[in-house]
Amino acid sequence: SVEQSSSAQSSLNVESVFLHASVGVLQMNKAHYVQYANSAFLQIFDIHEPLEGQPVSLHPALRFLEDAFRQALRGEDVSPRFTSIGARDYVVVLEPRGEAGVLVLVLDRGEMDSAQRIRTEFVANASHELRTPLATILGYAETLLSASSSLNDEQRVLAEAILRNGRRLRDLFEDILHLARIEASTGRFPKDTFHILSVLQEAIAPAADIADLRGVEFSLDCSTDLYFVLNEEAIQTIVGNLVNNAVNYTPDGGAVNVEVRQEGEYLYIRVKDNGIGIAPEHHERIFERFFRVDDGR
């Protein structure tokens, strides 16, 4: 039938992609037998004979993955495995596929790091270049509004919309550049001793002003003599995001509280609000980049 022909053609296309991919691909069924292994997989592990129809555990080069295979076959999430072969480092990703067994992907860490670096540099450069024409747009909009007496009502509304949305774009570009700087740092954040109350007062100031305008009670509970070793920019970004969300999603007349406590060697910063919250089914995605709960909610 046409449907079967289309399905067969799709299968052939997928197999062709896997065959010529630089990523190692292996498909294992529920019985622990190899169904498919592309040439890149065989080359990475220096395997010179076909694996199809063989138990995975029989091959010496793959025995380090036995526990991971069993875990994946049980349907459990498996953390990536890392291995060095020759002078190259690889990441092995195992994806449980239910009754279909387990899909295994082997990626060159050097190529991954290079791709990540190129992506980060592109995002940073694009955001930086876009800020220049945006600054010009904002400048013209501000100039127009400074002479608002010469504008009619409709023109003034349009100029205000240009300025408002231009500022939103500016803030977005700043966020993207900040994210690029964090990624480029590869986890190395310089730390120093800071006065916590001063750091947090600066972080929450914009949100506190908005809360005041909307009649949202905003409070900061922090000792005046508390000092701690941290990265100031990172803490201000994290706390600033939390309190902005708290204020934005708390109805007028609500309350937002920032509480700071030192317990042993740890500093705890808690942001509480009585806003709409996030439904339990979305909790596991809270730290997923750019995820937003449906605006309709």
Q: pLDDT tens, position by position, for the chain (297 residues)?
A: 444 444 444 444 444 445 555 788 888 888 888 888 888 888 888 888 888 888 877 677 777 888 888 888 888 877 888 888 777 788 888 888 888 888 888 888 776 666 667 777 777 777 778 888 888 999 999 998 888 778 888 988 898 999 989 988 888 887 777 777 776 665 567 889 999 999 999 999 989 988 988 899 999 999 999 999 998 988 998 999 899 989 989 998 899 999 999 998 999 999 999 998 888 888 888 877 667 776 544
Residues 6+ apart with CB under 8 A from 6: none
Residue 117 and residue 124 in contact, taking contact as beta carbons nearer than 8 Å: no
Whether the model pTM is above 0.85: no
DSSP 77-133: ----EEEEETTEEEEEEEEE-GGG-EEEEEEEHHHHHHHHHHHHHHHHHHHHHHHHH
Condensed to tens digits (0 to 9), the pLDDT of residues 97-124 reads 888 888 888 888 776 666 667 777 777 7
Rg of the chain over CA atoms, in angstroms? 27
Alpha carbons 101 and 30: distance in angstroms, whole number: 5
H or E, element range at 256: strand 255-263
